[in-house]
Amino acid sequence: MARCVLKFGGTSVANVTRLEHVAEIIKQEIDAGNQIAVVVSAMAGNTNELVGYTHSLCSHQATLEHDVVLAAGEQITSGLLALALQRLGLKSRSFLAWQVPIQTDDSPSHARITNIPTIELEKCFKNNIVPVVAGFQGITKENRITTLGRGGSDTTAVALAAALSADRCDIYTDVDGVYTADPRLVAKASKLSSITYEEMFEMAAQGAKVLQARSVELAMKHKVNLRVLSSFIKSKGTYITSERNLVESTVISGIAHNQNEVKITLVDIPNEAANIATIFGKLTENLINVDMIVQSCSLNNKMNLTFTLLRSDLDRALPVLEKIKKELNFSEIIVDNEIVKISVIGIGMKCNMEVASTLFKTLAEHNIHIQLISTSEIKISVIIDQHYTPLAVAALHTAFDLDEKKT
């Protein structure tokens, strides 16, 4: 008997027919003698609809009231799936986060799980009841509802698997595994049979939304046996592992793209050492994170500062920057909405010097101008014009020998 957490994403629970299909998958696991806890997302599109409601009343700052609204979608699917399981003759009940409880800190819209007491879920296992837990939500010490960031049901599932010492955590979605690039963008993307936690974390952090980055971080920390697979077709999926599969020992494992950032340039800032610290200090004080940064000096003892931040933070960042502009007396704030960050990721890059030159050469061959560059041990990211996203990702995919090999 294995103990498993199965998570079903939005498209997998998009309507009653899909929920009935999911119930069949769970029944097969139970019939095989396994102990199952389930985590569900909201029906596809539902969370976006709820975000729309909150934005029509208040667009700029996420609060715990936003979280109350956003968490509602998972309540519906947890109850419906429990009903579908009961219809198949299984004992099942739903759990909202507060009923488990899934305890979190109190940061609105991106709360972190602090603890999951398992006593209620263990009671279910003892009584052969399948618990269906609403993903994405949490509860603070003060009994306030929180959410874990978009895509957060993945994190609920991994955290539960860790708390329950589960043998595996299967993330069911609408693709049959992790691919070398988003299969919806790159027709020649190939499915990976496995990928390391480290690489998967970078892929997710750089925009591959197939897993929430935080879930991979947690899985790595707690050694959760994680797999991504499809609820639509039968396949083994992709295993997230600590060891790299030798058969897939290419230098680059995948390419991710992220259109959720904007680029900001502050023009003609007086070139004094304290100014950069003032700018980033003020942004940090206002909980605005910046990603890539480049500073360039001009002859007139002025400098330009360019950086990227999340598109969703732009409305909050602009008034802060306007205030700094007055204080430091620089001339202009230029916002570029039309950018994409493309990242090539692979552990093999650690001892291979050619990755950067292949990347630059390939983009140059297509006349794609690089605006910003950043590197880490296993990743190189560039900012380019958003318009070139499909072309750049496909060209790099070919250049790094990732295209699916037809046999």
Interacting residues toward ligand ADP by CB under 6 A = 9-12, 41, 151, 173-175, 178-179, 181-184, 203, 208-210, 254
* Shortest Cβ 212–ligand ASP spacing (Å): 7
136 binds, options Mg ion, ligand ADP, ligand ASP, none, Cβ within 5 to 8 A by partner type:
ligand ASP
The amino acid at 83: L
Cβ closer to ligand ASP: 10 or 348? Answer: 10
Handedness of CA 62, 42, 125, 123 (dihedral sign): positive
Q: How many residues does the chain have?
A: 407
135: contact with ligand ASP by CB under 6 A: yes
Show contacts with ligand ASP in window 5-44 (CB under 6 A): 9-10, 41-42
151: contact with Mg ion by CB under 5 A: yes
- For residue 27 the two structure tokens come to 């029944």
198 binds, options Mg ion, ligand ASP, ligand ADP, none, Cβ within 5 to 8 A by partner type:
none
H helix and E strand count, the chain: 12, 20
Interface residue with ligand ASP among 92, 153, 231, 381 (CB under 6 A) is 153
Question: Helix-strand-coil percent breakdown of the chain, rounded to 5?
Answer: 40, 25, 35
Cβ closer to Mg ion: 9 or 131? Answer: 9
Cβ closer to ligand ASP: 146 or 306? Answer: 146
CA 199/CA 177 separation, integer angstroms: 14
* Shortest Cβ 113–ligand ADP spacing (Å): 18
DSSP 175-237: SSS-BSS-TTT-TT--B-SEEEHHHHHHHHHTT-TTS-HHHHHHHHHHT--EEEEESSS----
Contact region with Mg ion (CB under 5 A), list: 3-11, 101-109, 162-170, 314-322? 3-11
Contact 155, 102 (CB under 8 A): no
Contact region with ligand ASP (CB under 6 A), list: 15-23, 145-153, 290-298, 334-342? 145-153
CA 102/CA 169 separation, integer angstroms: 17
Cβ closer to ligand ADP: 9 or 131? Answer: 9
Cβ closer to ligand ADP: 9 or 73? Answer: 9
DSSP 313: G
Show contacts with ligand ASP in window 71-130 (CB under 6 A): 73
172: contact with ligand ASP by CB under 6 A: no
Cβ closer to ligand ADP: 67 or 176? Answer: 176
Cβ closer to ligand ASP: 152 or 237? Answer: 152
Long-range Cβ contact pairs of 296-302 (< 8 A, separation 24 or more): 297/271, 298/268, 300/268, 301/270, 301/271, 302/268, 302/269, 302/270, 302/271, 302/330
- For residue 10 the two structure tokens come to 């939005």
The mark string for 376-405 relative to ligand ASP (x by CB under 6 A, - otherwise) is ------------------------------
Handedness of CA 159, 163, 168, 172 (dihedral sign): negative
CA 176/CA 156 separation, integer angstroms: 21
138 binds, options ligand ASP, ligand ADP, Mg ion, none, Cβ within 5 to 8 A by partner type:
none
Contact 150, 71 (CB under 8 A): no
Residues in contact with Mg ion by CB under 5 A are 9, 151
Residues in contact with ligand ASP by CB under 6 A are 9-10, 41-42, 47, 73, 135-136, 150-154
